[in-house]
Amino acid sequence: MLSEQMQREALSKCIVWFYDGNVRTFYSLDKTHKRAKPNQALGIRRLEKMLMETFKGQWETAIVYENEPRGNELARFKRGARV
């Protein structure tokens, strides 16, 4: 689990609906090291890798948003494929 500060600093977040009925929110890790400039594309790639490898076959729908109160949708996944 990420600290609250890292959750606030994340540029994107991913809401995942699992087959067992659970819903979880994951936050992107946008930096390669502590003092690096945040890179949103890197964070989205890492979220996608987490979905496709770590949680493979366990989730139904995942949506990646900008990490803002009314953030725009950046990517949508359905049953293991990007839609």
pLDDT in tens, 53-72: 999 999 999 999 999 999 99
CA distance 48 to 35: 24
Q: Name the phi and psi angles at 53, rounded to 5.
A: -110, -55
Mean pLDDT of 68-81: 94
Per-residue tokens: 28: 């992107």
Number of domains in the chain: 1
CA distance 15 to 63: 5
pLDDT in tens, 21-44: 999 999 999 999 989 999 999 999
Nearest by Cα to 17 from 56, 77, 60, 67: 60
* Residue range of the domain that includes 53: 4-82
Asked whether the predicted pLDDT for residue 1 surpasses 90, the reply is no
Among all chains, which residue has been given the structure tokens 């890492």? 46
